[in-house]
Amino acid sequence: YPSGYALRFARIKNIRDDKSPEDADTLERVQTLYENQFKYKAKRKI
C-alpha cells in the first residue's frame, strides 16, 4: 500500500450530511492513531 497502512473491515455505518469528504481523517491522523496505540499499550503494562 502506498501509505504503508491497510485499514481492515472498512464499513459505512451511516451517512453524515453535516460533513463533507474533506472532513474525513487524513493520513497524518491515521499515523497518529497508529502510533498512539503503542503508547497506550506500553502504559498499561506498567
What secondary structure, in 3-state letters, does the chain show? CCCCCCCCCCCCCCCCCCCCHHHCCCHHHHHHHHHHHHHHHHHHHC
Residues with Cβ within 8 Å of 27's Cβ and at least 6 positions away in sequence, in order, are: 3, 5
pLDDT in tens, the chain (46 residues): 787 888 777 788 888 899 898 888 888 998 999 899 888 666 666 5
* Whether 31 contacts 4, CB under 8 Å: no
Q: What does the chain come to in residues?
A: 46
Beta carbons of 27 and 3 less than 8 angstroms apart: yes
| Verdict on whether the full-model pTM lies above 0.85 | no
Question: What is the pLDDT at residue 14?
Answer: 86
